Structure 1
């Protein structure tokens, strides 16, 4: 089975290193970023190609993405990064990640255009001044191929694990039974409407009275539809903590509902606000101030693996969501920030329960991840 991963997702998994460091902020909004990319592209020559779709393969991995720009005459690929503030304050770890992404695009372009060499450029576009800082490196196709394969090798074991999890998850969801003897009045109608909307790829706006079991009547049909419709993730977003807790309780009940499906292999993650997850509220989010930010990305792989293992163990025991308390336990065992560990785990969860601002805010984490990775 082929596992498809976006270039950005691949490099964020393999090339991040060192401290968690939020000093180079605030980052541009999504709209500012789009506008900045458009301005940078408009300044290039007539033959310049923007948003070049690329893909490549390595063993069972398919890597896809869009290079920000390619100048065939100069034989140069551009990776455009918008920013605010002073570029000289950018952490070295950020620059390292940007080069990793740019060089993956460089190899994919060399492969597509049959190039022996190419210039790889990081184009830093200042949102405030509209000025560009361009860093260029001349690379051979062979060097870029080796870089690409090194990133893929680091990701391959995790990808294989994700494929196995997806197969087990979808098999179990196909056999999932409704956890109660029957539906309440109005609950079946709601569940049928949700299922039909999911299978048709349509939006559904539903209004229902209190007491019919809206949470279960929504989650159950969505999960049942997931295997056939290749739904990657379900986001359950609510305005109040009580609504999120109801969803977590319903998911626990679903996982324990069928004796023929022992331990539903469903990764359920609870996202909470930063002020509720922060262990050092008086410290800034960088390694010189917070001990849990220090070497965050170096310690993240082990913490991520442990958290996913905890989710699997709970699933085999009857299905317990990965509540923030469990995320915190794993994070502190590995000396990483619980809040940012939970944000990382959102990439690998099947169901995410959190505040609606995680998706509908202009800088919403879940919206950004869904767009970047093409999740269904």
Structure 2
């Protein structure tokens, strides 16, 4: 598992606040990292590959830079705008990443301590802001193991849920007493397409139950195809409502199923208090 993915799962906290959007483009980020590296000394190692294990989890990644002469490990973050406007939870996530890298480095080089530094590089002014702090290897190891424990706990829970879900999907019955005219043909076509990895374009008249006739075979095929999620895309809001209603019908017909249904909504429609934004 990548270091960044681990930390974004276990250490990300706070609101979904997009008012501070410092992220440059990928090319600007690469250029910024390169500029920082050229300002360092001869002992500076760039893109240092690190990895480590905790129980059944392997964590790996590339640290931005390590200065062996100063025993300083750096995590470079490019940004634009005012650094003071960065929310505390953003910086907390950055510290989490460099702490994980710090332990992986200590483990690899048998270090008792290391100085960790967040390097914020403004892509417009090309100015650096360094925030550094010394850490012992024991502190970093404890932090690393805590993040891994959090992730493994979730992963084991997800595995148990998926196994139970696939078992119940194998026994799932059609949620109505019988199929409507044309509905069985549609359901069989969808099931065959999913089972063989093919695409299917279907056209059917209104009223045959296309939504249930599509979702039901998708769910039935999920265990055999090892599907852990299904996306149902609609062009308009009424279609989304039909899909949610169909899933509610399927869930009601098999209470032991315990489907997890997530509705994706446009960002500008999700604010609960638009008058206060």
What TM-score bracket applies, with the shorter chain setting the length? 0.7 to 0.9
* Cα pair distance change 1:225/1:188, threshold 3 Å: closer
Q: Post-superposition shift, 1:165?
A: 2.0
Superposed CA RMSD in Å reads 3.5
| Deviations 1:28-80, CA, capped at 9 Å, x for gaps | 26xx1x223322443426974438463431x46x2535335243745554433
How is 1:69-80 mapped onto 2 (pairs within 5 angstroms)?
69-71=64-66, 73=68, 76-80=72-76
Gaps of 5+ in 1: 285-376
Residues 225 and 104 of structure 1, relative CA distance in 2, 3 Å threshold = farther
For 1:132-143, list aligned pairs within 5 A: 132-143=128-139
The alpha-carbon distance between structure 1 residues 109 and 205, as it changes in their structure 2 partners (threshold 3 A), is: farther
Match of 2:53 in 1: 56
- Counterpart contact for 1:7–1:64, Cα < 8 Å: yes
Normalised to the residue count of structure 2, the TM-score between the two structures is 0.76
Q: CA deviation at 1:130?
A: 4.5
Partner of 1:192: 192
Partner of 1:26: 21
Aligned with residue 268 of structure 1, among 237, 257, 261: 261
Asked if 1:208 is matched to 2:203, the reply is yes
CA displacement 1:304-333 (0-9 Å, x = unmatched): xxxxxxxxxxxxxxxxxxxxxxxxxxxxxx
Structure 1 counterpart of 2:275: 282
Instruction: Report the Cα offset of residue 144 of structure 1.
Output: 0.8
1:148 pairs with one of 138, 144, 152: 144
- Aligned equivalents of 1:50 and 1:267: distance in 2? 39
Q: Where do 5+ consecutive residues of structure 2 fail to align?
A: none
Q: Separation in 2 of the partners of 1:217 and 1:269?
A: 20
Is 2:167 the counterpart of 1:171? yes
Superposition map of 1:248-263 within 5 A:
248-258=244-254, 262-263=255-256
Question: Rg larger in 1 or in 2?
Answer: 2
Distance 2:217 2:128 in 1: 50
Equivalences, count: 266
Match of 1:223 in 2: 219
TM-score (norm. length: structure 1) = 0.58
